[in-house]
Structure 1
Amino acid sequence: MIAPTLKFFVRLRVDVGEPIDLGAAPAGHRRLVPVLGGTFDGPQLRGRVLPGGADDQRLVSDTLTELDARYALETDDGARIGVRNVGIRVGAAADIAAIIRGEPVPAERIYFRTQPRFSTADAGLAWLNERLFVARGFREPSAVSLEVYLVE
């Protein structure tokens, strides 16, 4: 067996709005973070993040947040791509609390990894439907930056 390798695919900057705090539900503290827009750029694709999606977050503990974001991309030539991006963000309790308050925290202090899945009806990009990707994330006060890699 040959170990899989990673190939850089795209860098996303997802602009986000103020979180909507849903409170402490039975399965954990919930927040919805609206997706306002953004951009993406890579060797094969570039374009914009469309407004209207959201990240459904579950604060499992004071150190662990589960993420489930759904949003849409539009390439410069008009192709549309749906994204479902699930993952986790882990850090020291003080750092996670700072992120929740909207304060910057150095990326090296947070383990932020996701598994984006892409879905498109565009024939030229149909291969996206049949591949796996992983990403490394960084949370800024008003945006999320993601480096996405194709698993080869």
Structure 2
Amino acid sequence: MSDLFAELPEPRLEPAFEVTVQVGPPRDHGVTSAGHRRVIPILGGRITGALDAEILAGGSDRQLIGPDGTIGIDAEYSALAAAGPLLIRTRGVRSGSAEILARLGRGESVDPGAYYFRTTFEVEAAAPEFAELQRTLFVAVCRRDGSEVRYRVHRIV
């Protein structure tokens, strides 16, 4: 590593909050011009920790499934906190062996260490109380468990 980069701080992860999202059955849209597309409805849920909010029904995860079964995650949903409403967006990837992905697809509980499921987490809101959340980068480690997706969100510092 060159001396020009030696002064840059190493990023650290700091736990920020936990999220539980209830999801509905996938709606398969088949192979579109972008690839194999399916949409997962978001039915509700909860965010706890540094952010405490109720996830509202009506959002969705517009997934793009690659030829090897890897799923591109692109979810948007609304949440309501005491200070006001928030828009949440997560983008990421879920991948693993064909067997593990098939088990997840059937709604089975699978050890989260057996597959890769990571996302980013973005917040958009009007209330000034959420300004710091909008100036921060977040990443999450995730788990699919039947009709729930659970993830722990970390602030990159």
Ranges in structure 2 where 5+ consecutive residues have no aligned partner: 1-7
Q: Which residue of 2 aligns with 1:87?
A: 92
Q: Which residue of 2 aligns with 1:31?
A: 38
Identity %: 35
1:53 corresponds to 2:41: no
1:125 corresponds to 2:137: no
TM-score, normalisation: structure 1: 0.94
Q: Which residue of 2 aligns with 1:16?
A: 23
- Counterpart residue type for residue 137 of structure 1: C
55-64 vs 107-116, which moves further: 55-64
CA distance in 2, matches of 1:138, 1:13: 10
TM-score, normalisation: structure 2: 0.91
Equivalent positions of 1:57-68 (< 5 A) are 57-68=63-74
Cα deviation, 1:7-48, whole Å, max 9, x if unaligned, reads 111100000001101112233211100000011111x22121
Ranges in structure 1 where 5+ consecutive residues have no aligned partner: none
Structure number with higher strand proportion: 1
Cα deviation, 1:116-138, whole Å, max 9, x if unaligned, reads 11111011111111111000000
- Is the CA contact 1:120–1:128 (under 8 Å) kept in the aligned structure 2? no
Q: Which consecutive segments of 4 or more residues in structure 1 shift more than 4 A?
A: none
- Counterpart residue type for residue 71 of structure 2: T
- Is the CA contact 2:76–2:87 (under 8 Å) kept in the aligned structure 1? yes
Report SS of the residue matched to 2:56. Answer: strand
Cα RMSD of the aligned pairs, angstroms, is: 1.2
Report SS of the residue matched to 2:91. Answer: strand
- Is the CA contact 2:95–2:115 (under 8 Å) kept in the aligned structure 1? yes
CA distance in 2, matches of 1:146, 1:80: 20
Task: Work out the number of aligned pairs and report it.
Answer: 150
